[in-house]
Amino acid sequence: MLSPENKKLFIKYILVSLLSYGFVFSGLILFVDIFNLNKSIAFIVIYAVNYLFLYIIQLKYLFKTKHRKNKLIRFISSILFFYFLANIFYNIGLKLELNYLLATSITIVILFPFRLVTSKFIVFKD
């Protein structure tokens, strides 16, 4: 698990995730603070757009594999699962009266390792 290849993958995954979550945070700030969109709707919209970009980036850059119908189906299934979990954790944070950005951060920290493992061993597995 701690092979040089896995360490490199982990670092790339962190970089892609940082860019992805930068997009999420920027989008949330834009939608919530500038356009006054409902926090939950903003969260749903920005995550949906983010996940569309993630498939391509993870396919080509992280896991360096080719698109196949079964990978796309597994990706969509995992995204729906993690999207569902992210919404639950995020809305629990809001119910606990956490700032929406803090609720997002906590959601990210909780789901981050599970998404990597799922992507590597299930979603993008040839």
Which whole-number Å values give the CA distances from 59 to 50, 72, 108, in the listed order?
Answer: 14, 9, 21
Identify the pLDDT of residue 3: 84
Q: Residue 52 carries which side chain, given as an amino acid letter? A: L
Identify the pLDDT of residue 108: 87
Backbone angles phi, psi at 106, to 5 degrees: -65, -40
How deeply is 80 buried, as exposed, middle or buried, from its count of CB atoms within 10 A (0-12, 13-18, 19+)? exposed
Sign of CA dihedral 86, 92, 94, 99: negative
Considering its fold, how many domains does the chain have in total?
1
Kindly compute the dihedral angle of the four CA atoms of residues 21, 112, 114, 59, in this order, to the nearest 10 degrees. Answer: 40
Identify the pLDDT of residue 1: 55
Q: Averaged in consecutive runs of 10 residues, what is the pLDDT profile of the chain (126 residues)?
A: 81 91 92 94 90 89 91 92 93 95 91 91 91
Say which DSSP state 123 is in: I
Q: 107 lies in which domain range? A: 4-123
